[in-house]
A and B are shown apart, each in its own frame.
Chain A
């Protein structure tokens, strides 16, 4: 399977708008499955966006962020063709990273 991270980073010359969708259950630990057993909490805690060696945006998430989480922000100082690196780590220590080109 491909990366868990989908990213759209589009520059208009001055601003780069970044939208990300991540495949993750974001289980709160408060929900029971069909058999009545509690589904343990499993959620992304930190999501980091790096342009070069600069962290341009850092998200700290709790279990109240929706399943397959989405976030959008914009930043200055990047050009078309630059790399943006996105990485997350969850409460179980799982992690994923992707590097995308700014369009």
Chain B
């Protein structure tokens, strides 16, 4: 059967190419450099690839590298489309749960100005805890049903919390704990692993091609990409969280997305946030 033949051929081609790539031996030893050196190399890569973009401007994503788009964004920022979510989040944040407690009781400093410290590695659980996860756990501890991770209430809450941290640099810590390092490494691996029928990794778009158009969109640089979350995306006609952002990216490569707050996504968020250490929180943001 001819069709079968084509599939075999395709798979053969795939195998051959893969073999070729594997045949080129990696020059470095595995984990030769730790997270700190990774982060420096990551930042240096973007700074030298985009010499005109100021470091703190990377958090503005595609707007840091396209003048015409930047003007549209600046116009929108005069009265930004995330305004309603932000205000809803502010109200939600102070409204007591059924038991009289509030979100403030679950977080250091009453939850104000702390977004830059998330995600963190939780030694007790042995896993990464993101802000979205911490918010839902806060709800459950207080007898409330968790929210969907993708938009609506979760986007409003994180919008408000990000807003109270605006300008504060990401300050993600990797404690001296092999499990934390493993989480970081797994996040890194997820970031660079090609997936989906289109065979793209996160890095394939957001490291190799930021500023370029993929179909109609201008790709955002990976450096600072989470600083603006949650975002109002015109494409979504609404708000979306970090979870939603990851899921959308996966679908666009024709990969079946993972569950929100799966270990992989948590680790990915840990890795990416660590890469952006020192860059200011700018969320909530607006994006095409």
Contacts and interface: CB of A to CB of B under 8 A. Distances in A.
Contact of A70 (B79, B87, B88): B79
Among B76, B79, B81, B83, find the residue whose CB has the most chain A CB atoms closer than 10 A: B79
Give chain A's interface secondary structure class.
Answer: strand
Contact of B78 (A2, A23, A68, A72): A72
Contacts of B45: none
A23 B78 CA distance: 16
Contact of B79 (A1, A2, A6, A23): A6
Interface residues of B, number: 10
Nearest to A6: B83
Interface string B57-92: 000000000000000000010110101100110010
Interface string A2-29: 1000101000000000011101000000
A19 to B, nearest CB: 5
B109 interface: no
B87 A21 contact: no
B87 A68 contact: no
Nearest to B81: A68
A51 interface: no
Given A8-B79, A70-B79, A72-B78, A23 B237 contact: no
A67 interface: yes
Nearest to A23: B84
Contacts of A68: 81, 84
Contacts of B78: 19, 72
Contacts of A21: 79, 81, 83-84
B237 A2 contact: no
B90 to A, nearest CB: 10
Interface string A59-91: 000000001101010000000000000000000
Contacts of B84: 6, 21, 23, 68
Contacts of B79: 6, 8, 19-21, 70, 72
Contacts of B76: 70
Nearest to B78: A19
Nearest to A68: B81
A65 to B, nearest CB: 13
B87 A2 contact: yes
A11 B284 CA distance: 28
A20 B88 CA distance: 17
Interface of A: 1-2, 6, 8, 19-21, 23, 67-68, 70, 72
The 5 closest A-B CB pairs, nearest first, are A21-B79, A19-B79, A23-B84, A70-B79, A67-B237
Given A1-B88, A6-B83, A23-B84, 9 more contacts: A6-B79, A6-B84, A19-B78, A21-B79, A21-B84, A67-B237, A68-B81, A70-B76, A70-B79
13 contacts: A2-B91, A6-B79, A6-B84, A6-B87, A19-B78, A20-B79, A21-B81, A21-B83, A23-B84, A68-B81, A70-B76, A70-B79, A72-B78
